[in-house]
Amino acid sequence: MHDRTGKPRDGEPTIEDVAAAVGVSIRTVSRVLNKSPKVNAETRQRIEEAIAALNFKPSARARALAMGRSFLIGLIHNDRNALVLDSIQRGVVAVTAKAGYELIVHPTPLESAAAISDVLAFVERSRVDGLVVLPPVSGVPGLAEALAEAKVPAAALSSVPIAGFADVIVSEEREAGAEVARHLLDLGHRRLGLINGPADTFSAMQRREGFLAEAEKGGASVIEAPGDYGFASGVSAAEHLLALADRPTGIFAANDIMAAGLLKVAASRGIAVPGELSVVGFDGSLLTQMLTPALTSVMRPFGEMAGAAAARLIARIEGDGTPPPCEGRMQVVAAESTGPAPA
């Protein structure tokens, strides 16, 4: 028996003591602790009064045991860009911390069979309650189906819709690529260059398709060079493009890191940016402000999008419905690295 005046007979008060004092289930108390809207105002007030009267301090371990959950969320990625990954982690943690969950970050390979076995092994080891899966891992063939078969709740981020995931936050990267082309066309550039990302990733394909289609519509020529989102590939591509006799006057690098490599090569060759060459990146990371000149880039609200994915995931885990959708709107933010085409 518990003392209805507000004190348990022995030891520290537990969530069971709070539930018994109010006459509700442990799940209802947990929902109040997690600030779930699925508890009516009168019951919520009674539970909060009991928590205060008992001086109850929620124990993460006891809470997990009582509900048969770990209150851990896994973040699956294969991203070498620490600045982008930091923004994503902050966006996810802002959501998970409020809901009482901890975040575990796990890098994984991209080869299909290896990625699937690695992610499933991680889930088994860590006992996470669900996963937020970032691109390009989210696009690994068979991964969404394997997680669904294993009954692992997962929300994904992607540049295209992906079948198999219950929740996917889609970023309109094809349209963003087109907007980059429009930005350069509006500045009078008609000889354009494109440093691509990895050819087998959805993001690189979408950015390329949007840029090329809009450039063609505007009557511009485009010279392409391969890249892999790494700095060295940006340098290599820039060495090729800037050595051409009729070199481009405006170049789109498919991420900020490759754009940094392009700016480095331009400086080493004495090519003025933006006087002789305009440069656009993609991601809108902190790097854009660190470079000289400051980099024009596509601002991608990746932290906000990852937070929305985490919110949908937690809502699904707790059966509390789905939060409002996240649009993932991106836009070109002009800075010092773009200007009118040279005469």
pLDDT greater than 50 at residue 8:
no
pLDDT greater than 80 at residue 11:
no
Check residue 5 and give its pLDDT: 39
Q: Examine domains 15-65 and 67-171+303-320 and report if their fold is the same.
A: no
CB 220 within 8 A of CB 190: yes
Nearby residues of 161 by Cβ (< 8 Å), 6 or more positions away:
168, 170
Check residue 318 and give its pLDDT: 83
Q: Could you tell me the pLDDT band of residue 82, with boundaries at 50, 70 and 90?
A: confident
| Domain segments of the chain as ranges | 15-65, 67-171+303-320, 173-300
Check residue 7 and give its pLDDT: 43
Local structure of 41: helix, strand or coil:
helix
Check residue 322 and give its pLDDT: 65
CB 133 within 8 A of CB 102: no
Local structure of 130: helix, strand or coil:
strand
Superfamily of domain 173-300: Response regulator (3.40.50.2300)
What is the CATH number that goes with domain 67-171+303-320? 3.40.50.2300
The residue with tokens 């087998």 is 200
> How many Cα atoms are found within 13 Å in the side-chain-facing hemisphere of 324?
3
213-243: per-residue pLDDT in tens? 999 999 999 999 999 999 999 999 999 999 9
Check residue 6 and give its pLDDT: 40
CB 173 within 8 A of CB 190: no
Nearby residues of 338 by Cβ (< 8 Å), 6 or more positions away:
183, 184, 187, 250, 274, 278, 279, 280, 296
Matching CATH number, 15-65, of 3.40.50.980, 1.10.260.40, 2.20.25.240, 1.10.1270.20: 1.10.260.40
